[in-house]
Amino acid sequence: MSELLNVSQLTIDFFDKKVPQRVVDHVSFSMNEGEILGIVGESGSG
């Protein structure tokens, strides 16, 4: 199998009134050919 996607140390911030709110903190994952990946958050998070 070959690796199709590799995400390393992903961090995402949103800004509310110029104040950063971290919503994703150092997430890493990879996907190979033929794999299925589901990422699940809290109710209302997406």
pLDDT digits (tens, 9 = 90+) for 18-29: 888 998 999 999
Under 8 Å between Cβ of 30 and 3: yes
Residue 46, in any domain of the structure: no
**Residue 44 within any structural domain of the chain:** no
pLDDT reported for residue 42: 79
- pLDDT confidence of residue 45: 67
The residue among 7, 10, 9 whose CA lies nearest residue 37 is: 7
pLDDT at 16: 83
Predicted TM-score (pTM) of the model is 0.64
Which residues of the chain carry a pLDDT beneath 50? none
The pLDDT, as a whole number, for residue 32 is: 94
Number of domains the chain is built from: 1
With respect to residue 39, please indicate whether it lies within any of the assigned structural domains. Answer: no
Domain that holds residue 21: 3-32
Tokens 């109710």 label which residue? 43
